[in-house]
């Protein structure tokens, strides 16, 4: 069916669908680029393993938010050698904050957390950090 056979309303719908496809394509490219800059996400070498553990759009955005909060907290801490952020469990809890159970399972595999419970329940320190950011 060529474009000439479309009625005006069908043509508007076709153009709107094309714009939406382009918008979603651009969004997916941007999210893939963001995933490449997040810790623990791009380190898997196996393509099948990577696609099986690919973060969803909302998981990617949550992890990016949590990563920015973690980096901000580290920067505001003057003495990193005495920082609580040297604790891998604490870092994992911050990165995993706000994730669903299924997403936590995926993230714990990506982060190589053997005892999954380490990141499942945020500590008081982590809860205070996120309260500070109204989350």
pLDDT-derived band of residue 46, with 50, 70 and 90 as boundaries?
very low
pLDDT-derived band of residue 50, with 50, 70 and 90 as boundaries?
very low
Polymer length in residues for the chain: 135
How far is CA 17 from each of CA 12, 26, 41, rounded to the nearest angstrom? 9, 14, 32
pLDDT-derived band of residue 47, with 50, 70 and 90 as boundaries?
very low
pLDDT-derived band of residue 58, with 50, 70 and 90 as boundaries?
very high
pLDDT-derived band of residue 74, with 50, 70 and 90 as boundaries?
confident
Long-range contacts at 52-60 (CB < 8 A, ≥ 24 apart): 53/106, 53/109, 53/110, 55/103, 55/106, 55/107, 56/103, 57/27, 57/31, 59/99, 59/103, 59/106, 59/107, 60/31, 60/34, 60/35
Global pTM reads: 0.77
- Domain-wise residue ranges, the chain: 37-132
pLDDT at 33 over 60: yes
pLDDT-derived band of residue 14, with 50, 70 and 90 as boundaries?
very high
């Amino acid at each position: 069916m060529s474009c000439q056979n479309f009625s005006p309303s069908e043509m508007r719908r076709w153009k709107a669908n094309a714009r939406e496809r382009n918008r979603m394509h651009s969004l997916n490219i941007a999210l893939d680029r963001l995933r490449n800059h997040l810790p623990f996400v791009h380190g898997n070498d196996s393509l099948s393993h990577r696609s099986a553990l690919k973060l969803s759009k909302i998981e990617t955005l949550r992890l990016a938010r949590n990563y920015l909060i973690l980096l901000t907290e580290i920067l505001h801490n003057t003495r990193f050698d005495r920082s609580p952020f040297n604790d891998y469990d604490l870092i994992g809890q911050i990165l995993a904050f706000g994730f669903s159970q299924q997403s936590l399972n995926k993230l714990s595999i990506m982060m190589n957390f053997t005892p999954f419970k380490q990141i499942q329940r945020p500590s008081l320190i982590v809860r205070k950090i996120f309260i500070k950011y109204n989350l």
